[in-house]
Chains A and B, each alone.
Chain A
């Protein structure tokens, strides 16, 4: 098929009443075909399924982090409860001063401690 015939074929595809399937078939016959590289399918699958693996790993990591967080949080709460009980047993109350360990001190003794007089 020479240049002018190809041009005619291209133009014919745009006619409203054109048999577009036939034009497309003839185009292919003339070597006007488009293809991706040989390993195209493998590349797509690699991208998809290796990405899936990363997502899965990320999900597992988050799951482990959540588990670790609960364990740490529970241990922390237990430590706080033990601390509160020990303060109550030692100081006899759970006031702010008991927490700071200054419930037994009077204002004058604190001034003496701070100023050294």
Chain B
């Protein structure tokens, strides 16, 4: 039983209390990490209601997988991994769904195509970021999201994505190229 205010309690105590069924303790975990999850999910999927659903799924999955969390990595890394996996699965699911209706020679289908005439003269910073991200290939988009929105280093990005650092670096340079082309059109 926790007697201190929840917002000052250490992470591992919150995890243990959540495992004991303390609703408020898990609520505090959600509170602490929802913004981080929002950056990943909304950065990858765009600001849609689906993104909110995926965000909820992240915490539901976290709740059920808490008994497997051994504390070897930080809780934030663990949550981030769940968020990345669910988001990439959602992108794959959408891709499969849309491929039933469209026949594209190019497999790298993007959710949003950039139309030059659609871009206003004066753009909001967030609009530019969102359009640029959504126009990217998902495997590069996740790298950009991790670095630009979450502020992770190459090493941290590699750990979260379960990729070798070399792969992250090569994707980073290809992402740079793709992003440069996209930003030129914006």
* Chain A residues packing against B (C-beta within 8 Å): 1, 3, 6-7, 10-11, 13-16, 18, 20-25, 27, 30-37, 40-41, 43-45, 47-49
Contacts and interface: CB of A to CB of B under 8 A. Distances in A.
20 contacts: A10-B183, A11-B176, A13-B147, A16-B172, A20-B152, A21-B151, A24-B149, A32-B129, A32-B149, A34-B42, A36-B55, A40-B34, A40-B56, A41-B27, A41-B34, A44-B30, A44-B60, A45-B26, A45-B27, A45-B30
Interface stretch (B67-75, B90-98, B103-111, B120-128): B120-128
Contacts of B31: 41
Contact of B39 (A3, A34, A40, A45): A34
Contacts, number: 112
Contact of B59 (A30, A34, A44): A44
Contact of A10 (B26, B34, B128): B128
A1 B149 contact: no
Interface residues of B, number: 46
A36 B52 contact: yes
B154 interface: yes
Contact of B148 (A1, A23, A41): A23
Nearest to A1: B125
Contacts of B148: 10, 13-14, 20, 23-24, 27
Contact of B175 (A14, A33, A41): A14
Given A10-B179, A14-B176, A25-B151, A31 B125 contact: yes
A40 B144 CA distance: 25
A69 to B, nearest CB: 30
A19 to B, nearest CB: 9
A35 B38 contact: yes
Contacts of A34: 35, 38-39, 41-43, 47, 149
B26 A48 contact: yes
Contacts of A16: 154, 169, 172
Interface in B95-147: 122-126, 128-129, 132, 143-144, 147
Given A36-B52, A45-B26, A14 B151 contact: no
A16 B4 CA distance: 43
